[in-house]
Chain A
Protein backbone atom coordinates (compact mmCIF):
# COMPACT_ATOMS: atom_id res chain seq x y z
CA UNK A 1 0.00 0.00 0.00
CA UNK A 2 1.57 3.30 -1.10
CA UNK A 3 1.12 5.96 1.55
CA UNK A 4 1.88 9.51 0.49
CA UNK A 5 2.46 12.40 2.88
CA UNK A 6 2.31 16.04 1.86
CA UNK A 7 2.97 18.77 4.41
CA UNK A 8 1.07 22.05 4.37
CA UNK A 9 2.06 25.05 6.49
CA UNK A 10 -0.44 26.39 9.00
CA UNK A 11 0.26 29.98 9.96
CA UNK A 12 -1.16 31.40 13.15
CA UNK A 13 -1.48 35.16 12.84
CA UNK A 14 1.91 36.63 12.03
CA UNK A 15 3.82 33.76 13.63
CA UNK A 16 5.74 31.06 11.85
CA UNK A 17 3.18 28.36 12.63
CA UNK A 18 3.83 24.70 11.94
CA UNK A 19 3.52 22.02 9.30
CA UNK A 20 0.51 19.76 9.18
CA UNK A 21 0.84 16.32 7.58
CA UNK A 22 -1.80 15.20 5.10
CA UNK A 23 -1.76 11.51 4.22
CA UNK A 24 -3.39 9.65 1.33
CA UNK A 25 -3.39 5.97 0.45
CA UNK A 26 -5.23 3.94 -2.16
CA UNK A 27 -7.94 1.60 -0.91
CA UNK A 28 -9.35 -1.12 -3.13
CA UNK A 29 -12.05 -1.86 -0.54
CA UNK A 30 -13.65 1.61 -0.57
CA UNK A 31 -16.95 2.10 -2.38
CA UNK A 32 -16.70 5.88 -2.27
CA UNK A 33 -14.09 7.67 -4.37
CA UNK A 34 -12.76 9.51 -1.34
CA UNK A 35 -13.12 8.82 2.37
CA UNK A 36 -11.74 11.08 5.03
CA UNK A 37 -10.72 9.56 8.35
CA UNK A 38 -10.07 12.92 9.98
CA UNK A 39 -9.58 16.57 9.18
CA UNK A 40 -12.32 17.53 6.75
CA UNK A 41 -15.69 16.68 5.34
CA UNK A 42 -15.94 13.85 2.79
CA UNK A 43 -17.87 16.03 0.36
CA UNK A 44 -15.29 18.84 0.41
CA UNK A 45 -12.44 16.38 -0.18
CA UNK A 46 -14.39 14.78 -3.01
CA UNK A 47 -14.87 18.16 -4.74
CA UNK A 48 -11.17 19.01 -4.45
CA UNK A 49 -9.92 15.66 -5.68
CA UNK A 50 -12.58 15.53 -8.39
CA UNK A 51 -11.33 18.86 -9.72
CA UNK A 52 -7.66 17.92 -9.45
CA UNK A 53 -8.16 14.64 -11.34
CA UNK A 54 -9.66 16.52 -14.29
CA UNK A 55 -8.16 15.40 -17.60
CA UNK A 56 -6.44 12.29 -16.24
CA UNK A 57 -6.77 9.44 -18.67
CA UNK A 58 -5.33 6.46 -16.84
CA UNK A 59 -6.68 3.48 -14.96
CA UNK A 60 -5.47 5.14 -11.74
CA UNK A 61 -7.89 8.03 -12.30
CA UNK A 62 -10.77 6.07 -10.76
CA UNK A 63 -8.93 4.64 -7.77
CA UNK A 64 -10.43 5.23 -4.33
CA UNK A 65 -8.34 7.04 -1.77
CA UNK A 66 -8.34 7.38 2.00
CA UNK A 67 -7.37 10.76 3.46
CA UNK A 68 -6.28 11.80 6.92
CA UNK A 69 -4.78 14.91 8.45
CA UNK A 70 -2.44 14.56 11.42
CA UNK A 71 -3.86 17.61 13.17
CA UNK A 72 -7.50 18.15 12.18
CA UNK A 73 -7.72 21.45 14.08
CA UNK A 74 -6.92 23.89 11.30
CA UNK A 75 -8.80 26.49 9.32
CA UNK A 76 -8.50 27.93 5.83
CA UNK A 77 -8.24 26.37 2.38
CA UNK A 78 -4.51 26.24 1.76
CA UNK A 79 -4.48 22.47 2.47
CA UNK A 80 -6.35 21.86 -0.79
CA UNK A 81 -3.24 21.77 -2.98
CA UNK A 82 -1.56 19.39 -0.52
CA UNK A 83 -4.58 17.10 -0.72
CA UNK A 84 -4.62 17.18 -4.53
CA UNK A 85 -0.89 16.38 -4.73
CA UNK A 86 -1.02 13.64 -2.07
CA UNK A 87 -3.86 12.03 -4.00
CA UNK A 88 -1.72 11.94 -7.15
CA UNK A 89 1.43 10.76 -5.38
CA UNK A 90 -0.27 7.77 -3.76
CA UNK A 91 -1.84 6.69 -7.04
CA UNK A 92 1.13 7.17 -9.35
CA UNK A 93 4.05 6.44 -7.02
CA UNK A 94 6.83 8.76 -5.92
CA UNK A 95 10.36 8.95 -4.61
CA UNK A 96 10.14 7.98 -0.95
CA UNK A 97 13.40 9.79 -0.18
CA UNK A 98 11.79 13.14 -0.98
CA UNK A 99 9.43 15.20 1.15
CA UNK A 100 6.57 17.15 -0.38
CA UNK A 101 5.28 20.55 0.74
CA UNK A 102 2.34 22.44 -0.74
CA UNK A 103 0.13 25.42 -0.04
CA UNK A 104 -2.64 26.54 -2.37
CA UNK A 105 -6.35 26.43 -3.09
CA UNK A 106 -8.08 24.32 -5.74
CA UNK A 107 -10.89 26.22 -7.39
CA UNK A 108 -14.38 24.80 -7.58
CA UNK A 109 -14.49 25.24 -11.38
CA UNK A 110 -13.85 21.53 -11.71
CA UNK A 111 -10.73 21.99 -13.85
CA UNK A 112 -8.15 21.93 -11.08
CA UNK A 113 -7.14 25.60 -11.22
CA UNK A 114 -4.77 26.52 -8.42
CA UNK A 115 -5.41 29.87 -6.74
CA UNK A 116 -3.38 31.99 -4.36
CA UNK A 117 -2.91 31.71 -0.62
CA UNK A 118 -2.09 34.21 2.12
CA UNK A 119 0.93 34.32 4.40
CA UNK A 120 3.48 33.40 1.73
CA UNK A 121 6.37 34.98 3.65
CA UNK A 122 5.84 32.88 6.77
CA UNK A 123 5.09 29.76 4.76
CA UNK A 124 8.27 30.04 2.68
CA UNK A 125 10.31 30.66 5.85
CA UNK A 126 8.78 27.65 7.56
CA UNK A 127 9.34 25.29 4.63
CA UNK A 128 12.87 26.60 3.99
CA UNK A 129 13.85 25.56 7.52
CA UNK A 130 12.81 21.94 6.97
CA UNK A 131 13.10 21.16 3.25
CA UNK A 132 16.28 19.54 2.02
CA UNK A 133 17.85 18.61 -1.30
CA UNK A 134 15.50 16.61 -3.51
CA UNK A 135 12.32 17.79 -1.78
CA UNK A 136 9.42 19.36 -3.65
CA UNK A 137 7.63 22.60 -2.80
CA UNK A 138 4.47 23.76 -4.57
CA UNK A 139 2.82 27.17 -4.51
CA UNK A 140 0.21 28.83 -6.76
CA UNK A 141 1.55 30.81 -9.72
CA UNK A 142 -0.43 33.85 -8.55
CA UNK A 143 1.77 33.98 -5.46
CA UNK A 144 4.91 33.97 -7.60
CA UNK A 145 3.81 37.25 -9.20
CA UNK A 146 3.46 38.87 -5.79
CA UNK A 147 6.72 37.72 -4.22
CA UNK A 148 8.75 40.37 -2.45
CA UNK A 149 12.47 40.61 -3.15
CA UNK A 150 13.38 38.79 0.06
CA UNK A 151 10.87 36.02 -0.67
CA UNK A 152 12.20 35.65 -4.22
CA UNK A 153 15.75 35.42 -2.85
CA UNK A 154 14.68 32.76 -0.39
CA UNK A 155 13.13 30.76 -3.23
CA UNK A 156 16.37 31.13 -5.21
CA UNK A 157 18.36 29.87 -2.22
CA UNK A 158 16.07 26.86 -1.89
CA UNK A 159 16.49 26.07 -5.58
CA UNK A 160 20.24 26.47 -5.26
CA UNK A 161 20.30 23.80 -2.57
CA UNK A 162 18.49 21.35 -4.84
CA UNK A 163 14.92 21.85 -3.65
CA UNK A 164 12.37 21.79 -6.47
CA UNK A 165 10.21 24.88 -5.99
CA UNK A 166 7.34 24.88 -8.46
CA UNK A 167 4.59 27.44 -9.00
CA UNK A 168 1.39 25.96 -10.40
CA UNK A 169 -1.37 27.49 -12.46
CA UNK A 170 -3.38 24.30 -12.67
CA UNK A 171 -3.23 20.64 -11.66
CA UNK A 172 -3.05 19.94 -15.38
CA UNK A 173 0.69 20.59 -14.94
CA UNK A 174 1.04 17.01 -13.74
CA UNK A 175 -0.81 15.57 -16.73
CA UNK A 176 1.90 16.48 -19.25
CA UNK A 177 5.11 14.89 -18.00
CA UNK A 178 6.77 15.07 -21.41
CA UNK A 179 6.22 18.79 -21.66
CA UNK A 180 7.18 19.60 -18.08
CA UNK A 181 10.34 17.75 -17.16
CA UNK A 182 9.90 18.49 -13.49
CA UNK A 183 6.56 16.71 -13.20
CA UNK A 184 7.91 13.64 -15.01
CA UNK A 185 10.50 13.33 -12.24
CA UNK A 186 7.76 13.46 -9.65
CA UNK A 187 5.83 10.26 -10.35
CA UNK A 188 6.95 6.71 -11.01
CA UNK A 189 4.25 6.18 -13.65
CA UNK A 190 3.29 9.08 -15.92
CA UNK A 191 -0.12 10.73 -15.78
CA UNK A 192 -1.46 10.99 -19.28
CA UNK A 193 -3.75 13.84 -20.25
CA UNK A 194 -7.18 12.79 -21.43
CA UNK A 195 -7.53 14.86 -24.58
CA UNK A 196 -5.69 17.45 -26.65
CA UNK A 197 -6.28 20.81 -25.07
CA UNK A 198 -5.23 24.17 -26.47
CA UNK A 199 -3.83 26.80 -24.20
CA UNK A 200 -3.63 30.46 -25.14
CA UNK A 201 -0.14 30.21 -26.69
CA UNK A 202 -1.14 27.29 -28.91
CA UNK A 203 -4.25 29.11 -30.08
CA UNK A 204 -2.12 32.15 -30.94
CA UNK A 205 0.23 29.99 -33.01
CA UNK A 206 -2.69 28.39 -34.85
CA UNK A 207 -4.19 31.83 -35.61
CA UNK A 208 -0.88 33.12 -37.05
CA UNK A 209 -0.58 29.99 -39.18
CA UNK A 210 -4.11 30.40 -40.52
CA UNK A 211 -3.50 34.05 -41.40
CA UNK A 212 -0.31 33.06 -43.25
CA UNK A 213 -2.10 30.35 -45.24
CA UNK A 214 -4.94 32.72 -46.16
CA UNK A 215 -2.46 35.41 -47.21
CA UNK A 216 -0.63 32.97 -49.48
CA UNK A 217 -3.88 31.76 -51.01
CA UNK A 218 -5.02 35.34 -51.58
CA UNK A 219 -1.68 36.22 -53.21
CA UNK A 220 -1.88 33.18 -55.52
CA UNK A 221 -5.43 34.10 -56.44
CA UNK A 222 -4.32 37.64 -57.31
CA UNK A 223 -1.48 36.43 -59.55
CA UNK A 224 -3.81 34.20 -61.58
CA UNK A 225 -6.24 37.01 -62.38
CA UNK A 226 -5.83 39.52 -65.22
CA UNK A 227 -3.89 42.66 -64.16
CA UNK A 228 -6.90 44.98 -64.36
CA UNK A 229 -8.73 43.05 -61.69
CA UNK A 230 -6.07 43.84 -59.12
CA UNK A 231 -8.18 46.69 -57.77
CA UNK A 232 -11.06 44.60 -56.58
CA UNK A 233 -14.12 46.58 -55.55
CA UNK A 234 -13.58 49.46 -57.98
CA UNK A 235 -13.06 48.00 -61.46
CA UNK A 236 -14.19 44.41 -61.22
CA UNK A 237 -14.30 42.73 -64.58
CA UNK A 238 -17.91 42.07 -65.41
CA UNK A 239 -17.15 38.73 -67.07
CA UNK A 240 -15.38 37.41 -63.96
CA UNK A 241 -18.22 38.71 -61.80
CA UNK A 242 -20.70 36.80 -63.98
CA UNK A 243 -18.59 33.64 -63.77
CA UNK A 244 -18.44 33.90 -59.99
CA UNK A 245 -22.19 34.49 -59.81
CA UNK A 246 -22.85 31.46 -62.02
CA UNK A 247 -20.86 29.32 -59.65
CA UNK A 248 -22.33 30.75 -56.45
CA UNK A 249 -25.95 31.17 -57.53
CA UNK A 250 -27.00 27.50 -57.10
CA UNK A 251 -25.36 27.47 -53.71
CA UNK A 252 -26.65 30.75 -52.33
CA UNK A 253 -30.17 30.78 -53.75
CA UNK A 254 -32.39 28.06 -52.31
CA UNK A 255 -33.89 25.63 -54.82
CA UNK A 256 -37.37 26.46 -53.48
CA UNK A 257 -37.06 29.91 -55.07
CA UNK A 258 -37.41 28.29 -58.46
Chain B
Protein backbone atom coordinates (compact mmCIF):
# COMPACT_ATOMS: atom_id res chain seq x y z
CA UNK B 1 0.00 0.00 0.00
CA UNK B 2 1.32 3.45 -0.87
CA UNK B 3 1.97 6.08 1.81
CA UNK B 4 -0.62 8.40 0.21
CA UNK B 5 -3.27 5.70 0.57
CA UNK B 6 -2.43 5.13 4.23
CA UNK B 7 -2.53 8.88 4.89
CA UNK B 8 -5.90 9.09 3.18
CA UNK B 9 -7.27 6.20 5.23
CA UNK B 10 -6.01 7.62 8.55
CA UNK B 11 -7.31 11.09 7.65
CA UNK B 12 -10.76 9.77 6.89
CA UNK B 13 -10.77 7.85 10.19
CA UNK B 14 -9.73 10.97 12.08
CA UNK B 15 -12.38 12.97 10.27
CA UNK B 16 -15.01 10.58 11.59
CA UNK B 17 -14.18 11.48 15.18
CA UNK B 18 -16.62 13.77 16.94
CA UNK B 19 -15.67 15.47 20.14
CA UNK B 20 -18.50 15.58 22.61
CA UNK B 21 -16.89 17.92 25.08
CA UNK B 22 -14.72 17.59 28.17
CA UNK B 23 -17.50 16.48 30.47
CA UNK B 24 -18.41 13.37 28.51
CA UNK B 25 -19.91 10.72 30.73
CA UNK B 26 -22.89 8.44 30.67
CA UNK B 27 -25.15 10.91 32.46
CA UNK B 28 -24.93 13.35 29.56
CA UNK B 29 -26.42 10.75 27.23
CA UNK B 30 -29.29 9.44 29.29
CA UNK B 31 -31.24 10.66 32.27
CA UNK B 32 -31.25 7.21 33.89
CA UNK B 33 -27.84 5.44 33.91
CA UNK B 34 -29.62 2.10 34.14
CA UNK B 35 -31.40 2.60 30.82
CA UNK B 36 -29.63 1.24 27.73
CA UNK B 37 -27.93 3.79 25.51
CA UNK B 38 -29.52 4.72 22.22
CA UNK B 39 -27.73 3.88 18.96
CA UNK B 40 -26.99 7.57 18.47
CA UNK B 41 -25.44 7.85 21.93
CA UNK B 42 -23.30 4.73 21.33
CA UNK B 43 -22.10 6.14 17.99
CA UNK B 44 -21.14 9.44 19.64
CA UNK B 45 -19.30 7.63 22.43
CA UNK B 46 -17.32 5.47 20.01
CA UNK B 47 -16.36 8.44 17.85
CA UNK B 48 -15.28 10.54 20.82
CA UNK B 49 -11.54 10.41 21.67
CA UNK B 50 -12.23 11.78 25.16
CA UNK B 51 -14.79 9.05 25.85
CA UNK B 52 -12.23 6.44 24.81
CA UNK B 53 -9.62 7.93 27.14
CA UNK B 54 -12.17 7.96 29.94
CA UNK B 55 -12.89 4.29 29.30
CA UNK B 56 -9.17 3.43 29.48
CA UNK B 57 -8.82 5.46 32.69
CA UNK B 58 -11.79 3.66 34.26
CA UNK B 59 -10.41 0.27 33.20
CA UNK B 60 -6.96 1.08 34.59
CA UNK B 61 -8.53 2.21 37.86
CA UNK B 62 -10.39 -1.13 38.07
CA UNK B 63 -7.17 -3.00 37.36
CA UNK B 64 -5.41 -1.01 40.07
CA UNK B 65 -8.12 -1.91 42.58
CA UNK B 66 -7.99 -5.60 41.56
CA UNK B 67 -4.19 -5.72 41.90
CA UNK B 68 -4.33 -3.95 45.27
CA UNK B 69 -6.91 -6.44 46.48
CA UNK B 70 -4.69 -9.36 45.43
CA UNK B 71 -1.60 -7.87 47.04
CA UNK B 72 -3.53 -7.29 50.29
CA UNK B 73 -4.57 -10.94 50.21
CA UNK B 74 -0.93 -11.94 49.89
CA UNK B 75 -1.33 -13.32 46.37
CA UNK B 76 1.97 -13.38 44.47
CA UNK B 77 1.89 -11.83 41.01
CA UNK B 78 5.52 -12.46 40.20
CA UNK B 79 7.85 -15.43 40.09
CA UNK B 80 11.38 -14.99 41.35
CA UNK B 81 14.12 -16.66 39.30
CA UNK B 82 14.80 -19.31 41.94
CA UNK B 83 11.22 -20.53 41.66
CA UNK B 84 12.27 -22.55 38.63
CA UNK B 85 12.16 -25.74 40.60
CA UNK B 86 10.35 -28.25 38.45
CA UNK B 87 11.94 -28.79 35.11
CA UNK B 88 12.94 -31.54 32.72
CA UNK B 89 14.10 -31.60 29.16
CA UNK B 90 10.77 -30.83 27.56
CA UNK B 91 8.50 -29.23 30.17
CA UNK B 92 9.40 -26.43 32.52
CA UNK B 93 6.89 -25.45 35.13
CA UNK B 94 7.08 -22.44 37.43
CA UNK B 95 4.46 -21.68 40.06
CA UNK B 96 3.48 -19.05 42.57
CA UNK B 97 0.23 -18.45 44.46
CA UNK B 98 -1.24 -16.23 41.72
CA UNK B 99 -0.35 -18.11 38.57
CA UNK B 100 1.79 -20.77 36.97
CA UNK B 101 3.78 -20.83 33.75
CA UNK B 102 4.51 -23.97 31.75
CA UNK B 103 6.97 -24.01 28.86
CA UNK B 104 6.77 -26.89 26.39
CA UNK B 105 9.95 -27.40 24.46
CA UNK B 106 9.35 -29.43 21.32
CA UNK B 107 12.04 -27.78 19.22
CA UNK B 108 13.54 -31.14 18.35
CA UNK B 109 10.16 -32.06 16.79
CA UNK B 110 10.06 -28.93 14.68
CA UNK B 111 7.79 -26.89 16.97
CA UNK B 112 8.57 -23.61 18.68
CA UNK B 113 8.44 -23.27 22.48
CA UNK B 114 4.81 -23.06 23.64
CA UNK B 115 4.09 -20.97 26.73
CA UNK B 116 1.07 -21.68 28.88
CA UNK B 117 -0.01 -19.18 31.52
CA UNK B 118 -2.52 -20.44 34.07
CA UNK B 119 -4.16 -17.93 36.37
CA UNK B 120 -5.20 -19.34 39.71
CA UNK B 121 -8.78 -18.99 40.91
CA UNK B 122 -7.96 -16.16 43.29
CA UNK B 123 -6.77 -14.04 40.33
CA UNK B 124 -9.61 -15.14 38.08
CA UNK B 125 -12.11 -14.03 40.72
CA UNK B 126 -11.01 -10.39 40.44
CA UNK B 127 -10.61 -10.54 36.67
CA UNK B 128 -12.74 -8.11 34.68
CA UNK B 129 -14.25 -9.67 31.54
CA UNK B 130 -12.99 -6.79 29.37
CA UNK B 131 -9.41 -7.20 30.53
CA UNK B 132 -6.56 -9.10 29.04
CA UNK B 133 -3.52 -10.37 30.87
CA UNK B 134 0.13 -10.00 29.91
CA UNK B 135 3.09 -12.02 31.09
CA UNK B 136 6.45 -10.27 31.03
CA UNK B 137 9.84 -10.55 32.65
CA UNK B 138 11.66 -7.92 34.67
CA UNK B 139 14.05 -7.51 31.74
CA UNK B 140 11.17 -5.84 29.89
CA UNK B 141 10.33 -8.67 27.50
CA UNK B 142 6.67 -9.53 27.00
CA UNK B 143 6.16 -13.28 26.80
CA UNK B 144 2.50 -13.35 25.95
CA UNK B 145 -0.76 -11.47 26.23
CA UNK B 146 -4.32 -12.55 25.75
CA UNK B 147 -7.75 -13.11 27.19
CA UNK B 148 -7.86 -16.11 29.51
CA UNK B 149 -10.43 -18.83 28.87
CA UNK B 150 -12.85 -20.02 31.54
CA UNK B 151 -10.07 -22.10 33.12
CA UNK B 152 -7.80 -19.06 33.33
CA UNK B 153 -5.45 -20.26 30.60
CA UNK B 154 -3.64 -18.26 27.93
CA UNK B 155 -1.10 -19.75 25.58
CA UNK B 156 1.28 -18.52 22.91
CA UNK B 157 4.10 -19.73 20.72
CA UNK B 158 7.56 -18.25 21.04
CA UNK B 159 8.82 -17.82 17.50
CA UNK B 160 11.89 -15.64 18.05
CA UNK B 161 14.72 -18.20 18.08
CA UNK B 162 17.29 -15.52 18.99
CA UNK B 163 15.78 -15.13 22.47
CA UNK B 164 16.35 -17.99 24.91
CA UNK B 165 13.44 -17.94 27.34
CA UNK B 166 14.94 -20.71 29.46
CA UNK B 167 17.98 -18.62 30.30
CA UNK B 168 15.88 -15.49 30.87
CA UNK B 169 13.66 -17.24 33.39
CA UNK B 170 16.77 -17.93 35.48
CA UNK B 171 17.83 -14.27 35.42
CA UNK B 172 14.60 -12.27 35.58
CA UNK B 173 11.36 -12.19 37.54
CA UNK B 174 8.24 -13.25 35.67
CA UNK B 175 5.24 -11.04 36.31
CA UNK B 176 1.62 -10.77 35.24
CA UNK B 177 -0.37 -7.61 34.71
CA UNK B 178 -3.98 -6.89 33.80
CA UNK B 179 -4.29 -4.53 30.83
A positions within 8 Å CB-CB of B: 1, 3, 5, 21, 23, 25, 27, 29-32, 35-38, 42, 66, 68
- Residue among A31, A37, A42 making CB contact with B118, cutoff 8 Å: A31
Query: In whole angstroms, what is the CA distance A1 to B149 when docked?
Result: 24
Minimum Cβ distance to chain B for residue A39 (Å): 10
- The chain A residue with its CB closest to the CB of B154 is A35
Q: How would you classify the secondary structure of chain B's contact residues: helix, strand, loop or mixed?
A: strand
Q: Are B106 and A42 in contact (CB under 8 A)?
A: no
Q: Which residues of B contact A30 (CB under 8 A)?
A: 116, 153
Extra pairs beyond A29-B91, A30-B153 (15, CB < 8 Å): A3-B106, A23-B109, A27-B102, A30-B116, A31-B151, A32-B153, A35-B153, A36-B155, A37-B114, A42-B149, A66-B104, A66-B114, A66-B116, A66-B155, A68-B114
Q: Are A27 and B104 in contact (CB under 8 A)?
A: yes
Q: Are B111 and A68 in contact (CB under 8 A)?
A: yes
Q: What are the 7 closest A-B residue pairs judged by CB atoms, nearest first?
A: A31-B151, A3-B109, A37-B114, A29-B102, A32-B151, A37-B157, A37-B155
Minimum Cβ distance to chain A for residue B84 (Å): 15
Interface residues in B139-163 by Cβ distance below 8 A to A read 149, 151-153, 155-157
- The chain B residue with its CB closest to the CB of A32 is B151
Q: Which residues of A contact B156 (CB under 8 A)?
A: 37
Q: Which residues of B contact A42 (CB under 8 A)?
A: 149
24 A-B contacts, Cβ less than 8 Å apart?
A: A1-B90, A3-B106, A5-B109, A5-B110, A21-B110, A23-B111, A25-B104, A27-B102, A27-B116, A29-B91, A29-B100, A29-B102, A31-B152, A32-B153, A35-B116, A36-B155, A37-B114, A37-B155, A37-B156, A38-B157, A42-B149, A66-B104, A66-B114, A66-B155
Q: Which residues of B contact A35 (CB under 8 A)?
A: 116, 149, 153, 155
Q: How many residues of B contact A (CB 8 A)?
A: 20
Q: Which residues of B contact A5 (CB under 8 A)?
A: 109-110
Q: Which residues of B contact A27 (CB under 8 A)?
A: 102, 104, 116
Q: Which residues of B contact A37 (CB under 8 A)?
A: 114, 155-157
Q: Which residues of B contact A3 (CB under 8 A)?
A: 106, 109, 111
Q: Which residues of A contact B104 (CB under 8 A)?
A: 1, 25, 27, 66
Q: Are B153 and A68 in contact (CB under 8 A)?
A: no
Minimum Cβ distance to chain B for residue A148 (Å): 35
Query: In whole angstroms, what is the CA distance A5 to B151 when docked?
Result: 26
Q: Are A29 and B114 in contact (CB under 8 A)?
A: no
Query: In whole angstroms, what is the CA distance A191 to B33 when docked?
Result: 58
Query: In whole angstroms, what is the CA distance A192 to B151 when docked?
Result: 29
Would you call B93 an interface residue if the criterion is a C-beta within 8 Å of the partner chain's C-beta atoms? yes
Query: In whole angstroms, what is the CA distance A210 to B15 when docked?
Result: 79
Q: Which residues of B contact A23 (CB under 8 A)?
A: 106, 109, 111
Q: Which residues of A contact B106 (CB under 8 A)?
A: 1, 3, 23, 25
Query: In whole angstroms, what is the CA distance A20 to B159 when docked?
Result: 17
